[in-house]
Amino acid sequence: MVILVVRIGGNERMVENSLPKRLREYRDLSDGELTQLIEGNEYEDELMEEADAVRRLHYGTDVYIRGLIELTNYCKNDCYYCGIRKGNGQLTRYRLSMEDVLACCATGYELGFRTFVLQGGEDLYFTDERICEVVAAIRSRHPDCAITLSLGEKSYEGYLAFYEAGATRYLLRHETANPEHYGKLHPSTMDGGNRQRCLWDIKKIGYQVGSGFMVGSPYQTTACLLEDVRFLQELNPDMIGIGPYLSHKDTPFAHHANGDLHKCLRLVSILRLLFPHALIPATTALGTIDERGRERGLLAGANVVMPNLSPTNVRSLYSLYDNKIHTMEEAAESRRALERRAASIGYRVVTHVGHVKRD
Ligand code: SF4
């Protein structure tokens, strides 16, 4: 092991020449060093060992489960990578009714879920008022549960109304912090700056805030990923969701290659070391690109899984990308399968509400 003398915060310090260990200790590295970790697999094993050690330090072997309810596959937007974009005329559209949502929550509650995640496209039917009605109905039936929303860009007043109705967490991936890259993934009517404004609003209101990005999206460079990491450092979110880009056959990006599993896992580990307390899901996209992708995500530092509680007849219609896994599995079956998978690598699915732990 080589020992280096480096200048950190104006002071000279002796450090081991191991980027993963330095990242763990200082929770930061230079752009050049982070680039090495993102691009190369030289440090991959050590990076994942350090990340796993840090998640165990803060969260032990606990894996939090969140019940995902896919509220609607209508969307007013046309993101070039997304299978439920409004321009996809091949897709059968659906919306869940209030009764559907409450039935999903009741099933989930029986199975031990204490967080419900309402996710959907930006569906004009779901006005702020309707969203508040759904949130309030869940809140009144399940006062001991966290309600997470992932319903896209709204006004400050909208976010505030959802919060006052009982929502506690909001997920909104910033997608890419680089404006030029954002412009290549979205039509000119969409604005990455507004998305970031939403995240700051969400944080200001008092939600636990989640952000994230795709790894390997078309036209993404390592410099873009670095900007994503730097943006997250500024935002300091409670939850960070990343997954490999996966193509969808009915989008303008149908012929772009999928993201790289290993690069995505390296980024999960980097984010764990940068944000030791963050709630980081082993995403469905990871499980789709690799049969054991979610286990690998957990081993790389993730500590959350989000099984699907949506009615089985609509799950295949919520097709953000092709070949999404477990579209027909019942909630109970899906939960048992996840328990087995987590146990197979030494982790334990737990059922409590699973808030972020801070220092
Ligand atoms: S990524 Fe989100 S906002 Fe964009 S089209 Fe898909 S659901 Fe709509």
Per-domain residue ranges for the chain? Answer: 43-350
Residue 347 pLDDT more than 60?
Answer: yes
Q: What's the gap in Å between 10 CA and the centre of ligand 1?
A: 44
Q: Whose CA is nearest to atom 2 of ligand 1?
A: 121
pLDDT digits (tens, 9 = 90+) for 127-181: 999 999 999 999 999 999 999 999 999 999 999 999 999 999 999 999 999 999 9
Question: 120-144 b/e with 16+ CB inside 10 Å = b?
Answer: bbebeebebeebbebbbbbeeebee
First-to-final CA distance of the chain: 31
Residue 6 pLDDT more than 70?
Answer: no
For domain 43-350, which architecture applies?
Answer: Alpha-Beta Barrel (3.20)
Question: What is the greatest pairwise CA distance in the chain?
Answer: 63
Which pLDDT value is given to residue 8? 56
Q: What's the gap in Å between 214 CA and the centre of ligand 1?
A: 13
* Least confident window among 25-39, 55-69, 259-273, 314-328: 314-328
Q: Which residues line ligand 1 (CB under 6 A)?
A: 75, 77, 79, 82, 84-85, 121-122, 152
- One-character DSSP codes across 231-260: HHHHH--SEEEEEE----TTSTTTTSPPPP
Q: State the Cα–Cα distance between residues 113 and 153, nearest whole angstrom.
A: 26
Tokens 């060992």: give the residue: 49
The pLDDT of 103-119, averaged and rounded, is 96
Extract the tokens encoding 300.
Answer: 């790389």
Which residue from 72, 73, 74, 77 has its CB within 8 A of the most atoms of ligand 1, so it is best to mutate? 77
Q: Whose CA is nearest to atom 6 of ligand 1?
A: 82
Give the burial class of 242: count Cβ atoms within 10 A of its Cβ; 0-12 exposed, 13-18 middle, 19 or more buried: buried
Q: What's the gap in Å between 318 CA and the centre of ligand 1?
A: 11
pTM for this model (two decimals)? 0.94
Which residue from 71, 82, 176 has its CB within 8 A of the most atoms of ligand 1, so it is best to mutate? 82
Pairing mode of beta strands 239-244, 67-72: unpaired
Measuring CA to CA, which residue among 195, 270, 190 is closest to residue 225?
Answer: 270
Q: What's the gap in Å between 191 CA and the centre of ligand 1?
A: 13
Question: Which ligand 1 atom lies nearest to the CA of residue 75?
Answer: 8
Residue 60 half-sphere exposure, CB side, CA atoms within 13 Å? 6
Q: What's the gap in Å between 84 CA and the centre of ligand 1?
A: 7
Residue 48: which residues within 8 A CB-CB, separation 6 or more? 265, 266, 269, 299, 300, 301
Q: What's the gap in Å between 79 CA and the centre of ligand 1?
A: 6
